Amino acid sequence: MRTLEAFNKLGISLDLALEAHELLRGATKEEIPGVQEDKESYDYAEVTTVTILNDQGAQIMGKPMGTYITIEAPRIRFESKEIMDDISELLGKKLETLLKIPPDSPILVIGLGNWNATPDALGPNVIDATMATRHLFQYAPEVVGEGLRPVCALAPGVLGITGIETAEIIKGVVERVKPSLIIAIDALAAANISRISTTIQLADTGINPGSGLGNKRIGINQESMGVPVIAIGVPTVVHASVIVHEALSNLNEKWSGNVMTATYAQKITPDLSRELSQSIFQPFEGNLVVTPKEIDDLILNVSKIIAAGISQGMHPGINRGNYQQYLQ
């Protein structure tokens, strides 16, 4: 019941590679061929790096080959300055490991999502907080400090507002601006409530169709953009149907362990989960999300952490001690 297959039946793609891997490995923690997982511990965070090594791994995971770094930091919800600074610094360092370009190569930061929809506004919020420097190199090189690189930033909006595929807008800008790399920020959906606004995923695979909160139909990745794309995502919601599925999975597990109830556990299937969800979620089918009541605050908080982290990761001269003067 708690399997990747079940999620597929519910029509929900798992945005976090970590969650997909966990589901695939199951309770027995079996190894998945073509997929490697490494864990590190920090004061306020666990970092899990899932590497999809080959096509076999990609097919099983339903995600492209590449590196997926997940920072889990449950305590960032409490907004302590020290914890926030720690996580930003860690994010910066992890981002650096994925940047395979010279320190003066230009980067385009893209904030995906809809600034008028709270849980989808993560990307635009990060853009608002990130300092663009590219124009300074061009028009006022004398004010550019040591250790900065040219960075430009765009919040292209969503298809429903622009009428243009987001990938088309970005591709057009990429062709004019010619960055060496793109960093794309996006709000994700998680399978687990506890990850909302506390987990950050970096992936060197870019953004692929169907992922994230908005309905992207065209990928934003090396293939479509012609330059490497690093995706940074934070779960801001859990799909409502996941809640139903989780409840039934828990019931299934609870009953499976008992001789008396095991035959009924078998009746609790993904199909049943989908059937029950559909009847409850009319007329919003597929469009319902679960969020904490304080989601507006949580989004602002994690947006600041991301902006601080990518500034430190992109610019050699920005660090934990001075990042605040480079944010807006």
By CB under 8 A, the residues from 50 to 79 that bind a second copy are: 74, 79
Does position 173 bind a second copy by CB under 8 A? yes
Does position 143 bind a second copy by CB under 8 A? no
Does position 314 bind a second copy by CB under 8 A? no
Quote the CA–CA distance of 245 and 189 in Å, as a whole number.
Answer: 15
Binder to a second copy among 123, 150, 233, 309 (CB under 8 A)? 150
Binder to a second copy among 8, 80, 97, 266 (CB under 8 A)? 80
- By rule CB under 8 A, what count of residues binds a second copy? 83
Binder to a second copy among 160, 226, 262, 271 (CB under 8 A)? 160
Q: Half-sphere exposure (CA, 13 Å, Cβ side) for 176?
A: 6
Binder to a second copy among 165, 209, 222, 256 (CB under 8 A)? 165
Q: Which of residues 282-311 bind a second copy (CB under 8 A)?
A: 282-284, 287-297
- The answer to whether the CB of 147 falls within 8 A of the CB of 318 is yes
- The answer to whether the CB of 86 falls within 8 A of the CB of 309 is no
- The answer to whether the CB of 158 falls within 8 A of the CB of 220 is no
Amino acid at residue number 21: H
Does position 157 bind a second copy by CB under 8 A? yes
The torsion angles phi and psi of 66, rounded to 5 degrees, stand at 150, -175
> x/- contact string, 190-219, with a second copy (CB under 8 A)?
---xx-x----------------x------
Q: Which of residues 257-286 bind a second copy (CB under 8 A)?
A: 261, 264, 267-268, 272-273, 276-277, 279-284
Does position 142 bind a second copy by CB under 8 A? no
Going along 82-180, which residue ranges are E strands?
107-111, 151-154
The torsion angles phi and psi of 46, rounded to 5 degrees, stand at -105, 135
Residue whose entry in the numeric block shows the structure tokens 């300055």: 81
Q: Closest approach of Cβ 257 to a second copy, in Å?
A: 14
